[in-house]
Each structure stands twice: as C-alpha cells, then as structure tokens.
Structure 1
Amino acid sequence: MSRPLCPRCQRPLTHCLCALIPDIDSRTRVLILQHPSETTHALNTARLAALGLRNAQLCVGEVFDDLAQWLEQPGYRPCLLFPGDEAQVLTVPAKTDTPLLLVVPDGTWRKARKLLHLNPILAALPRVRLSAVGASRYRLRKAPEAGALSTIEAIVEALQVLEAPSTFEALLRPFDALIEGQIAAMGEETFLRNHGHRQA
C-alpha cells in the first residue's frame, strides 16, 4: 500500500518538504526539461527547483512539441545549460544585457543527450556551462565525473553567477533535508558502507 503523497512536493506527507521550499524571484527565466524517468525518482531535485523559483517552468517528456513556443519568450535570450567544447562559461552579465532563458535538461547524462537528439531545436541553442564548481552535496549518487552536480545545484550555481550579488542558496534547503532524510532512512551504517568512501 503506497503512502499518501503531498500534491505539491510529491514527497510522502510524513516527509513533506514544502515548509523548506522558498519563494524566490529571478531576472533569469529557467526552463527545466525533465526526462520522464526522473519524475518518480525519490531524489527529484528539478521539481524542488521549479517550486522554489517564481520564474521557472518544469516540463516533462522526451519530445517537446511546444518547445519553439516556450523558447520565444519576449525579452529573453534562450541558451542551453550543458557542458561541451562549444559551451561558453557563464559570466556576470552587464545590466544592459537581455536576461537569459536558461534551458536545463534534467536526467542522467545519457538521458539528457537523448533529449537533445530528439529535440533538434534544443540541440541548436547556444550552450553555456559553469566554470569550476565545488563538490556536489548530492551524496547518494556517484557523480560520473568531477564537478558533476545535481540539477538543482547546477541551477543555483548558474543563478549565483547571473544575478550576483543576489543569493539563491535558500533553494538548497529542501534539497539538503531530502538528502539527510534519505540517509536517515537507510541508516548511517548502510550509508557509510555504500557511500562513505565518496566523501572528500
């Protein structure tokens, strides 16, 4: 028998995170394209990011028929947050620059690349990437490479650059609580056995 879920954060009611989710405005618009396989994942950080940002939209799918329409937001310049040789490092914009519509694919690297393959408009967008980033706080997943972040962490890092000196750290409060809750549920001994060696 499944446990009742909070309709907003989709967590079990006994572990609802809504009280920790902030309500933050941003000049940057964030469009999160989530692969369907991520929606039922216990650590669904993209949903937390979308709930905490007023100027964010979360769309789930593999092929997005309305993508061209979503990208044509008046007053925004669309770009894709995705690493690669052609990706420009995000820098603090000039106050006169057009705000970005930051498109963020959400899924494993393989699933994210599949989204780009299935949506040529997405693959054609100018790409941006983060500069050097610290270690991920996502202690329950093995990062495929150094500097790999969860979706919510990548969004926070990007907004910290684009909207400095504003801070978006509050977005990570429910994320941290989610991680701590998962560790508590599995037990400290199990966590250390399976994940402890990944700690710095």
Structure 2
Amino acid sequence: MTLPKHAIHHLYEYRKAISSKPFTARGKNVVRCQSCLLAEQFCTCCQRKQVSSELSFMLIMYDDEVLKPSNSGRLIADIIPDTHAFIWSRNEPNKKMLSIINDPKYQAFVIFPSEYAVENQTVINRVDKSKLPNGKHPLFVVLDGSWREAIKMFRKSSYLHQLPLLSFSPEFAASYALRKGAREFQLGTAEVAALALNVAGEPANGLVLEAWFELFVESSLHGRSRNSRDSAIIGELQHRFQEAHALSLVNA
C-alpha cells in the first residue's frame, strides 16, 4: 500500500516549483526517487510506515533545505502522522504556521540548546503529556538547516521566544551519541526528533525513527558509492526497522 504524500513532500514540490534554476548538490547526476530523494535503486518508499503517536512536529526549514537529498527532516514526516513543514521567512512568517503554533489544541515547544534561551524563556528537558492543561498535545518545533542557519532562525524569530524551550541534557544527548557508535557527536534533524520522542514518553516510536534514519543513511551511502559497500547491510536495516515498527504497535 502506498502512503499518501505528507507535508514535506508538498513543501518540496512547492519549493522546486518556485526555483529559478535547478537545485544542484553532491550526487547531482544520480537518478533519484522524487519522494525519498534516494537513488532509485535504493528507494525506501515501499518500506515507509507511520506509527501511532500523540505527539506532533513542525519543521521550520531554511530556504532550500527541503531540496537537499541529505536532509533527514523528511524522515520525521515519514514516521509521525501529524507533522507540519514550512520554509522560514525572517520578515514575513507564514500565517498558517503561526496559527498552528497558537492553536489551542497544541502546546508548542521549540527544541534548541538551553544556552540560547532568551530572558525569562522557560527551559525544560522532559515533557509529561498528562500534565499539559486542557488535554493539549505537544507540538515540537524543529529548526531544520545547518547549525549556523538554525541559530539565525532562532534569534530572528521572536514568536519562538514565547515558547517553552526543550533542551536535552548533555548527559542524555551524549549517551544517545555513544549508542550510535561510529561517528562524532553530531545529531541530524531526525535524530533530534527521536530524542524528543524519548523524553516525551514515546521511546518505542523513538526507536522506529532511529531505525528509519539508519536505513536512510546507509541507503544514501550506497547511492554514492560504486559497489564498495556491503549490500546485505540494507537488508539488515530494513529488518530492524520492521521489528521496531512492530514493537511500537504493541506499545501503542
């Protein structure tokens, strides 16, 4: 069964339509699936499955971030049903975006390091859904771009300064990074979302997103290489994702 397009698919089509010239990036000659942006022979679309979640996400993306095949933000929308996505504007914030942030059914939190909190901004490191007023649902706002771009978006967006800031403790983030193993401590957008799922009481869904991210990374690397990677790894990661998804259904 083919899942319908989600918010980032639609944003990708919009951003591509308004571009004055084709977007070029590393691997520009690769023939890509236009949904997952992976090389066609490593497309993961048939594997994609969403989970049952009481959490929502909003990605605020820097300019052409949605066009980048390396962007992992789209993986959040692959997994979490209630995901929204908008292109950031310094001067004219998207009105629909602001209406969602201020929607009374949500309690919005912006995910960002605590050292960037503005004066009097509330900082938390865990979200208890049962303690939110009036049955509100958590809405996690994620700034999607390079680190420099994310800092710029946060500092230049006053509407974010009114929201509680969810900041992961160094110990929690470091233990997560150690669990990931091989590379230096630097988290992608999807990994940040997986951490948010963990601290908001949905660790099983966090594992699903982690597994989906790992499959995405390996599939991306296969698309760049010339038969120099072990193709069996993709099968193993596909199986790991299916197992994680099945476990999330048990815990739903």
Q: TM-score range by the shorter chain?
A: 0.7 to 0.9
In the TM superposition, what are the counterparts of 1:38-53 in structure 2 within 5 Å?
Answer: 38-53=65-80
1:34 aligns with 61
2:94 aligns with 65
2-side partners of 1:187 and 1:5: how far apart? 16
- Deviation sequence 1:174-196 (CA, Å, 0-9, x none): 3212222343434698xxxxxxx
Contact 1:17 1:174 in 2 (8 A): no
2-side partners of 1:9 and 1:44: how far apart? 10
Q: Which has the larger radius of gyration?
A: 2
Match of 2:140 among 91, 102, 105: 102
> Can you give the 5+ residue segments of structure 1 that lack an aligned partner in the other structure?
190-200
Contact 2:37 2:69 in 1 (8 A): no
Matched, 1:135 2:177: yes
Contact 1:33 1:58 in 2 (8 A): yes
Percent identical: 21
> Can you give the 5+ residue segments of structure 2 that lack an aligned partner in the other structure?
1-27, 229-252
Question: CA 1:93–1:7 in 2, change beyond 3 Å: closer, same or farther?
Answer: same
Question: CA 1:48–1:164 in 2, change beyond 3 Å: closer, same or farther?
Answer: closer
Matched, 1:167 2:205: yes
2-side partners of 1:104 and 1:94: how far apart? 18
2-side partners of 1:11 and 1:188: how far apart? 16
Match of 1:90 among 125, 138, 141: 125
Higher helix share: 2
1-side partners of 2:137 and 2:190: how far apart? 20
- Deviation sequence 1:106-151 (CA, Å, 0-9, x none): 1111101121233221233221112322217496xx76xx4x4111
Contact 2:129 2:200 in 1 (8 A): no
Shift of 1:166: 4.1
Match of 2:159 among 121, 137, 140: 121
Residue type of the alignment partner of 2:52: D
1-side partners of 2:181 and 2:212: how far apart? 12
State the TM-score, normalizing by the size of structure 1: 0.77
Contact 1:34 1:59 in 2 (8 A): yes
Q: CA RMSD in A?
A: 2.9
Deviates more, 1:104-113 or 1:14-23: 14-23
**3-state DSSP class of the match of 1:39?**
helix
1:193 aligns with none
- Deviation sequence 1:23-69 (CA, Å, 0-9, x none): 12321211011112422333210011112210111222334322321
State the TM-score, normalizing by the size of structure 2: 0.63
1-side partners of 2:131 and 2:158: how far apart? 30
Contact 1:21 1:171 in 2 (8 A): no
Contact 1:20 1:173 in 2 (8 A): no
Contact 1:92 1:162 in 2 (8 A): yes
